[in-house]
Amino acid sequence: MVGYFGPLVGPLRAREVAILGPSTPMLPDLFAKCPVTLLSGVAVIDPERAPRIVSESGGTRQLGPAVRKLSVPIPRPSRQD
């Protein structure tokens, strides 16, 4: 993942870098070597309903009752600027 995001977020001097969207991989360890500080996405809470909605061409809006929105902060050591 670092190889992909490195050129995109590496030169940023932003205080916070967030990855947002329903397909965001909610795996903080995956972003350990990137400056990403927040992951926001969804987690499936109804594992029977979600695949059925997707198989019927349902999108993010239709998945609402089968998923839960969540945000996961990725702690970073404070920088001395």
Q: Strand 38-44: give its sheet, edge to edge.
A: 18-20, 38-44, 67-73
Give domain status of residue 36, yes or no. yes
What domain range includes position 32? 2-73
Give domain status of residue 78, yes or no. no
CA angle, residues 67, 69, 70, in degrees to nearest 5: 130
C-alpha to C-alpha distance for 59 and 38, rounded to whole angstroms: 24
Give domain status of residue 80, yes or no. no
Residue 45 vs residues 29, 42, 68, 71, 80: alpha-carbon distances, Å: 22, 9, 6, 15, 40
User: Could you read off the pLDDT of 26-78 as tens digits, one per residue?
Assistant: 999 988 878 889 999 999 999 999 999 999 999 989 999 999 999 999 987 66
Give domain status of residue 30, yes or no. yes
Give domain status of residue 56, yes or no. yes
Task: Give the model's confidence band at 3: pLDDT under 50 very low, under 70 low, under 90 confident, else very high.
Answer: low
Give domain status of residue 43, yes or no. yes
Chain mean pLDDT for the chain: 85
Task: Give the model's confidence band at 2: pLDDT under 50 very low, under 70 low, under 90 confident, else very high.
Answer: low
At residue 80, the pLDDT reads 57
Domain count, the chain: 1
Task: Give the model's confidence band at 6: pLDDT under 50 very low, under 70 low, under 90 confident, else very high.
Answer: low
